[in-house]
């Protein structure tokens, strides 16, 4: 017997309907790309998204069309997502920090027909657009008064584009498994791979993301996604925010410490999310200029491992709780969050920080396991590390055009490419990317664990650890350091700082100082480039 409940498809545009109906006056505040702060609410965001959907429909865009955005987090970008979704098209976020040729490659692969772009990136798009024959129209996310001089063809301002529609439109009805969004993985090796979300996966993922043991979002929150919507599906904030009815604070292009501090305090943000590099900038700004964060309750940190020193500074100095998160573009993206279960409620001080270095435990909708290279499951003893595999309704089942098929097995387990261990309470800790793990004498050394400790040295701005060839051990760790301005720690003091905190055989064989550590377009340490930069390095002979 089948159950007798309604078949109510999980569609993304129902999320903005909910926000507009039950939280319609809730603020959406943005630092506009033009400069001034802009204030709107969910009711207006939905109304304008509806105008956009109507206009796209009139121009012949609909189900299955790929429509690209290259934009900061603002109210217009949010409206654009919902307008595209509401007509059945697919939002395709582009990362402007990639090389122009990579962006053109990605746009051609997706065959984007329209591009919504911020003023900041018009010059970049002038280089890219001629290489993308599928592109028919470019909408600049501004009004007529701010339209720039440009060599681009078929260009229109967003405000005049939507002004031609009155909003008397009905969202398109769809199967919930219809493609909703696309985001390409950063592709540090080989071509980028397209991840294609469904309406259903986005809705289920947002429902999981706002639970108490995840982001714990409510209508009383003021959420600021500093993480751009173009990074890994914007960590779901464009859906989990409106679904919870919280106010949204959109930081626009202001990504430096001073701008983040200004908007956090002025707009009384209660929860915010970004990669560690952003928080390092904020903390360094506050160390220099002073300040406090009286309204901020939680800061979500993920995208790369959150160093212990950042957690400690937020919690001990500013009274803000750190939520360490792990995920991937392929997982919509949230996979685990390090919230405190009752088993660990007694932890305080250094012991609690030890827990928070872990990436945490998954919500309902994510299953995980660790295996060895022969796919045998490994024990959850907080020591044994292996390949981290996941599955669930918001995890990719394949990549666009069938690329990377070897990462998926017959039982739907997706090999994340991360190496991790899990403790008996289900807390996962990433020890490395599979390709970055250091293999010393047949044993594995976690580069991330050493980096996290080294960055806690008071004179260190950033740290990376890579494996370098060694005649006896195969590979040994090399510690690469960027020092804080005006500091000059000795190699010895750095190594002494690590002594006793890691196993003796994990101790780096040497330390090198560099001016800069290369980063990927999403702010992660780019180990391939760093290894390349140091390819002539050899360990001193013992
Ligand atoms: P992306 O799809 O660009 O977000 O990259 C996903 C990858 O980022 C993961 O597979 C991890 O290697 C890394 N990552 C994300 N969050 C964390 C974290 N909290 N700690 C360590 N690595 C992370």
pLDDT at 373: 86
Pocket probe mutation, ligand 1, options 334, 420, 524, max atoms within 8 Å of Cβ? 524
Q: Whose CA is nearest to atom 8 of ligand 1?
A: 303
| pLDDT digit string, tens, across residues 91-109 | 999 999 888 999 999 999 9
pLDDT at 439: 87
d(CA 225, CA 249): 7
**Any catalytic annotation for residue 159?**
no
Domains, the chain: 13-254 (3.40.50.12780), 255-435 (3.40.50.12780), 438-533 (3.30.300.30)
Q: Whose CA is nearest to atom 22 of ligand 1?
A: 304
Helix 199-209 × helix 237-244 angle, to 10°: 60
pLDDT at 535 over 60: yes
Expressed in angstroms and rounded, the spacing between residue 492 Cα and the centre of ligand 1 is: 31
pLDDT at 292: 98
Of all residues in the chain, what percent carry a pLDDT higher than 70? Answer: 99
pLDDT at 378: 97
Summarize the confidence of residues 196-200 as an average pLDDT.
98
pLDDT at 462: 92
The average confidence (pLDDT) of the chain is 95
Cα–Cα distance list, 446 to 92, 421, 459, 467, 501 (Å): 35, 11, 23, 10, 13
Closest ligand 1 atom to Cα of 329 = 2
The answer for residues whose C-beta is within 8 angstroms of residue 426's C-beta and 6 or more apart is 361, 362, 380
CA 520 to the chain's CA centroid: 12
| pLDDT digit string, tens, across residues 167-190 | 999 999 999 999 999 999 965 556
Higher pLDDT, 279 or 522: 279
pLDDT at 187: 59
Closest ligand 1 atom to Cα of 305 = 20
Pocket probe mutation, ligand 1, options 98, 302, 421, max atoms within 8 Å of Cβ? 302
Catalytic residue among 69, 93, 142, 185: 185
Catalytic residue among 136, 352, 444, 491: 444
pLDDT at 1: 96
**What's the first-to-final CA gap in the chain, in angstroms?**
74
Expressed in angstroms and rounded, the spacing between residue 65 Cα and the centre of ligand 1 is: 29
Closest ligand 1 atom to Cα of 433 = 12
d(CA 17, CA 127): 38
Expressed in angstroms and rounded, the spacing between residue 335 Cα and the centre of ligand 1 is: 10
Closest ligand 1 atom to Cα of 359 = 19
**Any catalytic annotation for residue 330?**
yes
pLDDT at 364 over 80: yes
Pocket probe mutation, ligand 1, options 94, 185, 303, max atoms within 8 Å of Cβ? 303
pLDDT at 66: 98
Catalytic residue among 267, 330, 449, 451: 330
Q: 170: which DSSP letter?
A: -
Pocket probe mutation, ligand 1, options 394, 415, 430, 522, max atoms within 8 Å of Cβ? 430
d(CA 132, CA 197): 23
Q: Whose CA is nearest to atom 4 of ligand 1?
A: 328
**Any catalytic annotation for residue 439?**
yes
In the block, tokens 């793990």 appear at 437
Expressed in angstroms and rounded, the spacing between residue 173 Cα and the centre of ligand 1 is: 34
pLDDT at 524: 84
DSSP string, 348-397: -HHHHHHHHTS-BBPPTT-EEEEE-TT--B---SSS--EEEEEESTTS-S
pLDDT at 503: 87
Closest ligand 1 atom to Cα of 520 = 3
pLDDT at 190: 66
pLDDT at 516: 94
Around ligand 1, the residues with Cβ closer than 6 Å are 185-186, 232, 302-306, 324-329, 333, 359, 416-418, 430, 433, 522
pLDDT at 542: 60
Q: pTM for the full model?
A: 0.92
The answer for residues whose C-beta is within 8 angstroms of residue 74's C-beta and 6 or more apart is 30, 31, 32, 33, 38, 118, 141, 250, 252
Under the banding of pLDDT at 50, 70 and 90, the label for residue 471 is confident
pLDDT at 480: 97
CA proximity to 143, closest of 152, 156, 124: 156
| pLDDT digit string, tens, across residues 127-171 | 999 999 999 999 999 999 999 999 999 999 999 999 999 999 999
Summarize the confidence of residues 336-348 as an average pLDDT.
98
Expressed in angstroms and rounded, the spacing between residue 184 Cα and the centre of ligand 1 is: 14
Catalytic residue among 383, 401, 439, 496: 439
The answer for residues whose C-beta is within 8 angstroms of residue 513's C-beta and 6 or more apart is 480, 481, 482, 483
């Amino acid at each position: 017997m089948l159950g007798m409940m309604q078949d109510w498809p999980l569609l993304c545009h129902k999320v903005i309907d909910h926000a507009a109906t039950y939280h319609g006056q809730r603020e959406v505040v943005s630092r506009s790309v033009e400069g001034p702060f802009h204030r709107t609410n969910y009711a207006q965001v939905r109304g304008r998204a509806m105008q956009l959907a109507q206009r796209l429909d009139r121009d012949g865009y609909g189900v299955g069309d790929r429509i690209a955005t290259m934009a900061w987090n603002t109210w217009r970008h949010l409206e654009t997502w919902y307008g595209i979704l509401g007509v059945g098209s697919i939002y395709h976020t582009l990362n402007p920090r990639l090389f122009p040729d990579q962006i053109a490659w990605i746009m051609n692969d997706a065959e984007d027909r329209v591009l919504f772009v911020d003023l900041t990136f018009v010059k970049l798009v002038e280089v890219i657009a001629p290489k993308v024959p599928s592109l028919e129209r470019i909408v600049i996310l501004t009004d007529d008064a701010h339209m720039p001089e440009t060599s681009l063809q078929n260009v229109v301002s967003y405000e005049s584009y939507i002004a031609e529609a009155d909003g008397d439109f009905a969202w398109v009805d769809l199967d919930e498994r219809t493609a909703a969004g696309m985001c390409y993985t950063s592709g540090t090796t080989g071509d980028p791979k397209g991840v294609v979300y469904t309406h259903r996966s986005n809705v289920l993922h947002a429902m999981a993301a706002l639970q108490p043991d995840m982001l714990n979002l409510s209508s009383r929150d003021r959420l600021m996604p500093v993480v751009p919507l173009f990074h890994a599906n914007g960590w779901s904030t464009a859906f989990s925010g409106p679904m919870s009815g919280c106010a949204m604070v959109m930081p626009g292009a202001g990504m430096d410490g001073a701008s983040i501090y200004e908007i956090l305090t002025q707009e009384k943000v209660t929860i915010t999310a970004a990669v560690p590099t952003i928080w390092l900038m904020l903390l360094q700004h506050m160390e220099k200029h002073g300040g406090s964060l009286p309204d901020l309750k939680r800061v979500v940190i993920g995208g790369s491992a959150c160093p212990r020193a950042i957690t400690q500074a937020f919690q001990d100095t500013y009274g803000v709780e750190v939520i360490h998160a792990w995920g991937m573009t392929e997982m919509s993206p949230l996979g685990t969050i390090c919230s405190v279960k009752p088993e660990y409620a007694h932890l305080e001080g250094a012991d609690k920080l030890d827990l928070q270095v872990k990436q945490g435990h998954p919500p309902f909708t994510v299953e995980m396991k660790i295996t060895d290279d022969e796919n045998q499951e490994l024990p959850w003893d907080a020591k044994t590390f292996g390949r981290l595999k996941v599955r669930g309704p918001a995890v990719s089942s394949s990549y666009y055009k069938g690329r990377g098929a070897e990462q998926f097995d017959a039982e739907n387990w997706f090999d994340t490419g991360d190496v991790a261990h899990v403790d008996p309470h289900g807390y996962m800790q990433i020890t490395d990317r599979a390709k970055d793990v250091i293999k010393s004498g047949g044993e594995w050394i976690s580069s991330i664990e050493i980096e996290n400790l080294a960055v806690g040295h008071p004179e260190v701005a950033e740290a990376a650890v890579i494996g370098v060839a060694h005649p006896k051990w195969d590979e040994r760790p090399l510690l690469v350091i960027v020092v804080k301005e005006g500091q000059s720690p000795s190699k010895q003091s750095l190594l002494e700082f690590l002594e006793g905190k890691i196993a003796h055989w994990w101790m780096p064989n040497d330390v090198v100082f560099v001016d800069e550590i290369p980063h990927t377009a999403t702010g992660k340490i780019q180990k391939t480039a760093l290894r390349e930069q140091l390819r002539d390095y050899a360990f001193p002979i013992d």
